[in-house]
Each structure stands twice: as structure tokens, then as C-alpha cells.
Amino acid sequence: MRTDAYSQPNTLHFIHVANKLEACPAWPGDTRVIAINVPLPEEDIPKAKLMEHLTTEAPYFLRTIMDVTLPTAEGRLRLPVITTSSKQRAEERNRDDLEAFIEDECYEVVGEKILLADFFNKFQEWLDPADRYQWTKRKVSRSLPEKYPYGAHNSNQRYIGNLSWDDKKPTNPPFTSHNGRLVVKV
């Protein structure tokens, strides 16, 4: 307060430790979280013995760190994201019903489109009957992932762009949403 603001590199790091995978806040595509399962040892190691082992191992560990060659930076991250089976399970558990339906029943095909009414009807059939009341057509259209634009297209009917029921090779330019309409991206 009452001083000039200045920029500084963000060096904030967190370690989250939990007994259950459900506590891991990892969503599909999230590059900030790495989940690793650390099994419990068969028997407890006394602290004095653990410290002795760590002291013995330290020079070897440091030598390995000094000798490792880092991969070239790809994209915004300095190091590639480590994908583990634990993280994949956490991502799957944190998906909502709509994301699970799209991943299980649809294909991302640039330039293709699905009529929202057809998508909604198939989604309702796919859902557990107890969960159907939670997913209205309005909620579905608002909860669609950003990469699937939504809007009016032919005959003023609503479509979801870049999505298909069939896995096929993209042949058309991608769709985008502009002023509530589904338009071809130029």
C-alpha cells in the first residue's frame, strides 16, 4: 500500500496430501495437478533410520539431478505434464455427466455439427433416470465445453459445432459462435 506496484515471477507451489483420490481436484485437461499414489510401507521405518537412509542417498540423488537433461520447452510449460494413472482416474471421477456423455458417445470432428434437440434427447436417454431432471436443455447448452460452440444455424435451429456422432476425418472449416449464431470460422 502506498508504494509502486512491481512484477515478480510467481514461485507459489502447493502439495496436497489426501487419503482418498476423490480429494484430488483434477479435471480433464488441467495441467496444474499431478497425482501420484504412494502406497503405505509394509512396516513403519523409525525416524532415525529414515534420516540415516536419506543422508546416505542424498549425494546420489543430487548427482542424478545434476546429470539429467531437461526436455525442450513445448508451449507455455517449461516441463511436460506428467500424466499418471492416478491423475487419469481423478479426472474421470471429476467429470460431470455432460462431459462423460460427450467423451463416451460423441467425437470431436472439426466442421461437423449436431442438432441440439437430437443431442439433448440422446443425452437424456443415456442419463440415469434419477439425474434427468437436473439436466434441462438450457443447462446443457450453457455447460457445453468451450471447444464445442453452440448457436442457431440452418432454419434457425440450434446446433452444437465441431461435434459428431461418427468418427470421421474433418473436411470442413471449424465452427465458432458469434452473436448467438453458429458460423464458420474464417
Torsion sign (Cα): 84, 85, 86, 90: positive
pLDDT for the residue numbered 130:
92
- Is the per-residue pLDDT at 3 higher than 70? yes
Q: How far apart (Å, rounded) are the C-alpha atoms in residues 116 and 182?
A: 12
pLDDT for the residue numbered 139:
93
Contacts of residue 59, defined as CB under 8 A and 6 or more positions apart, other chains included, come to: none
Please state whether the predicted TM-score (pTM) of the whole model is above 0.85. Answer: no
What is the tens place of the pLDDT at every residue in 4-63? Answer: 888 877 767 677 788 887 787 877 777 777 888 888 888 999 999 999 999 999 999 999
What is the tens place of the pLDDT at every residue in 140-186? Answer: 999 998 889 999 887 788 999 999 999 988 888 899 888 888 888 87
Q: How far apart (Å, rounded) are the C-alpha atoms in residues 174 and 184?
A: 6
Q: Minimal CA–CA distance to 98: which of 129, 130, 134?
A: 134
pLDDT for the residue numbered 55:
96
Task: Please give the C-alpha separations between residue 83 and each of 26, 42, 116, 173, in angstroms, as whole numbers.
Answer: 11, 27, 33, 31
pLDDT for the residue numbered 50:
92
- Is the per-residue pLDDT at 133 higher than 90? yes
